[in-house]
Amino acid sequence: MAGEIPGLLGMAFHAIMEEVHVRLAEEGFGDVRPAHGFAFQYLSVRGGATAVELGQHLGVTKQAAVQLVDELERRGYVERRPHPADRRARVVVLASRGWACVGRVVALWTEIENRWAGLVGADRLEVVRESLSAYVTAAGSPPIRPLW
């Protein structure tokens, strides 16, 4: 039925992330919230960022970004390092615990995709992947960030 795909995509994303977070909690990452994943994704792709850059990406104030970084640093997911070009700034990078969490998420996503392929067939799932990729490309490859 026309108009159902956005809702189905939203429900599928919710179901996948709910499973991922339950499994992460079972594996010792129970202090990770869904919002942290958007920060982890940004930092993992960029190799690090200032709190200001992270805040801009997440669509939050500098103060909120600093609070998030403080929280993630206390939990051992990120660390602050000197900025290579600006002595006043610090770069936030994933710490080993952050990289371990990212690795588990990728492995869990792979498990879920494999289970999905078992439900609908690998060839049909590949058509879904290609179709979503085409849409995202046509939309200008928007960033992965929360829709506050």
14: exposed, middle or buried (Cβ count in 10 Å: 0-12, 13-18, 19+): exposed
- pLDDT tens-digit readout, 52-67: 999 999 999 999 999 9
Sorted by sequence, the CB contacts under 8 Å of residue 120 that are 6+ apart come out as: 128
Phi, psi at 90, each rounded to 5°: -125, 145
Q: How many domains does the chain have?
A: 1
pLDDT class of 8 with cuts at 50, 70, 90: very high
Q: Which domain holds residue 37?
A: 5-104
What's the pLDDT at 57? 92
125 in a structural domain: no
Q: What is the CATH number of the domain that holds 30?
A: 1.10.10.10
82 in a structural domain: yes
pLDDT class of 148 with cuts at 50, 70, 90: low
- pLDDT tens-digit readout, 73-115: 999 999 999 988 888 889 999 999 999 999 999 999 999 999 9
- pLDDT tens-digit readout, 117-146: 999 999 999 999 999 999 999 999 888 877
72 in a structural domain: yes
- pLDDT tens-digit readout, 17-46: 999 999 999 999 999 998 899 999 999 999
